[in-house]
Amino acid sequence: MKIKNLIAATYTPLLADGSLNLDIVNVYSSFLQKNMINGVFVNGSTGDFSSLTVEERKLIIDEWGKQRSDDFFVINHVGHTSLEVAKDLTRHCVDKVDAIATLAPYYFNVPNLQSLVDYCSEIAACAPNLPFYYYHIPVLSGADFAMVDFLKLAEDQIPNMAGIKFTKNDIIDFRYCKNYKDNKFNMLYGVDEMFLSSLPYEATGWVGSTYNHLAPLYYKIIEAFENGDYKLASKLQTKSMQFVDELNGRGGFNGAGKSFMKVLGIDCGPSRYPHKTFSDAELDEVKAIFEDIDIMNYTSKI
């Protein structure tokens, strides 16, 4: 099984009091599927996993697990600073998801590539029948190794190694990983603002936060690229960049992106510290800017 197409890194929906809003997950899932999203990456950076309790992470994946189907994948990120907690999270979701993923421990950093493989191997072994993905996001994890070298080690030491969620602006390493042993591993590209750059290098799957908001835009980019209209594809990609830059410049993308879901009809509630939650007035202001630069015509629809 190779996971393909757009996979949304989901926000963790909260109520006004800061507790989980599990009741909205079904509506959230329907919204994504209506916009041709083929799956979700739950409990990741977009979902503020590091601000959640272990019990909350279990509850949220319990709910998303109910949304699985032949056409809708559920991937659970189980990474943690504690290897034992990561293993517990893995065992909890064995019968609820289509795949698991982990980033590297991000407080005490792994000293070398073999140490990282050892960490991943212990987690993957807790769900031997599930595909395992390494979540490569060095800007947050601090583990900055060439992923093609990781694959060379991991393929013999992690039997259920399936691929990498590749969240680094390094298209060269991504390409080497894609080419390794004739596309043996499923490479999921994870830099939304560089989506177009992945297309000439045969990317077929993507995981990102802006697929929650702009799924129609990315399908238009693919269409323009496949039609050879590279000027249009570049113009559309710029809209993705502007979307991220505008929200990021207003206190950080995580909180801004989560707040903006309310404009699209999915109220994911407040963000947890240190991320900012936007007021309705701030959302109206941002929406007006996006209307002026023709981004709202490419947003996902409820």
Burial class (CB in 10 A: 0-12, 13-18, 19+), 19: exposed
By residue count, the chain amounts to 302
CB 190 within 8 A of CB 166: yes
d(CA 110, CA 262): 38
Q: Is the backbone of residue 44 left (phi > 0), alpha (psi -120 to 50) or beta?
A: beta
Backbone angles phi, psi at 149, to 5 degrees: -70, -35
Among candidate residues 123, 118, 163, 170, the one with its CA nearest the CA of residue 145: 170
The SS3 call for residue 66 is coil
d(CA 52, CA 108): 20
CB atoms within 10 A of CB 174: 26
Burial class (CB in 10 A: 0-12, 13-18, 19+), 142: middle
Residue positions annotated with a catalytic role: 135, 165
